[in-house]
């Protein structure tokens, strides 16, 4: 008998930090910034009030410099809410990982370091566990992007993915960088291709979500999580939308 069970997925609102402010970039371009200005903690509290349990926090300053700079916001958010926070941006050393975890992060996102030093990331997977290390697979066409999406890593995503699957990685944040911040819809075909290449990984879809219709279509795909950014800040996805969705997922 065919099951009618709803595929339950995590919704993770994104807070991108630059200079201590909440911002959104267009396609990852640092010269195309929308400043939402509000206290990041207030956004986190708002999302928690809407019934969301997870938060995706990105240190954009560190994504460029490689130096973790916004960890105090992790401390504040974790101490003032019950949200589970994953942290990304510029995490390229074990010290940075430990700072993130000591600040209260549940998971960290590793991008550039995964390309530049995969053997070191393999060590981190062993040290901290594959449930706490998320591999950021930031893609433009078939190529991986690094350093805040500024540089081409000169490696195809399939090779990158298979390498980390063999290492035991389970969690992947998969972003079409050309879609991010565009409100033009996700790359559904991309996620289907990733799933075919790696049937057993946890896929966190990121980039381009413009409405709850996109979320519902991703729900029908075999992904386990969705990161939502600009659609929340611009009001395309509302409190009512989120509460209705999370109620149906209970």
Q: Given 16, 59, 176, 214, which residue is catalytic?
A: 16
Which CA distances in Å does 165 have to 18, 19, 23, 118, 171? 32, 35, 32, 12, 9
Q: Is 138 a catalytic residue?
A: yes
Distance in angstroms (rounded) separating the CA atoms of residues 137 and 116 = 13
**First-to-last C-alpha distance (Å) of the chain:** 23
Q: Given 59, 61, 138, 180, which residue is catalytic?
A: 138
Q: Is 16 a catalytic residue?
A: yes
How is residue 8 written in tokens? 């339950």
Distance in angstroms (rounded) separating the CA atoms of residues 45 and 55 = 10
CB 75 within 8 A of CB 83: no
Range 156-161 contact pairs with CB under 8 angstroms and sequence separation of 24 or more: 157/194, 158/197, 160/114, 160/115, 161/137, 161/194, 161/197, 161/198
Q: What crossing angle do the helices spanning 212-220 and 239-249 adopt, rounded to 10°?
A: 20
How is residue 177 written in tokens? 């960088």
Residues 6+ apart with CB under 8 A from 32: 25, 26, 181
Active site members: 16, 138
């Amino acid at each position: 008998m065919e099951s009618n069970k709803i595929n339950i997925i995590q919704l993770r609102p994104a807070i991108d930090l630059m200079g201590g402010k909440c911002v959104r970039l267009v396609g990852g371009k640092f010269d195309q910034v929308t400043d939402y200005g509000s206290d990041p903690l207030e956004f986190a509290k708002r999302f928690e009030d809407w019934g969301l349990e997870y938060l995706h926090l990105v240190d954009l300053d560190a994504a460029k410099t490689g130096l973790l700079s916004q960890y105090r916001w992790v401390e504040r958010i974790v101490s003032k809410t019950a949200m589970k926070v994953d942290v990304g941006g510029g995490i390229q050393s074990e010290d940075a990982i430990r700072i993130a975890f000591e600040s209260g992060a549940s998971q960290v996102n590793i991008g550039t370091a995964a390309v530049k030093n995969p053997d070191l990331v393999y060590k981190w997977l062993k040290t901290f566990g594959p449930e706490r290390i998320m591999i950021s697979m930031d893609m433009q066409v078939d190529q991986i992007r690094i350093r805040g999406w500024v540089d081409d890593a000169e490696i195809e995503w399939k090779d990158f993915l298979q390498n980390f699957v063999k290492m035991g990685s389970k969690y992947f944040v998969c972003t079409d960088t050309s879609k991010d911040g565009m409100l033009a819809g996700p790359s559904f075909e991309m996620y289907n291709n990733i799933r075919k290449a790696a049937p057993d990984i946890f896929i966190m879809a990121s980039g381009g979500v413009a409405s709850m219709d996109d979320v519902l279509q991703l729900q029908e795909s075999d992904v386990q999580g969705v990161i939502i950014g600009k659609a929340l800040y611009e009001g395309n996805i509302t409190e009512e939308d989120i509460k209705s969705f999370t109620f149906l997922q209970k």
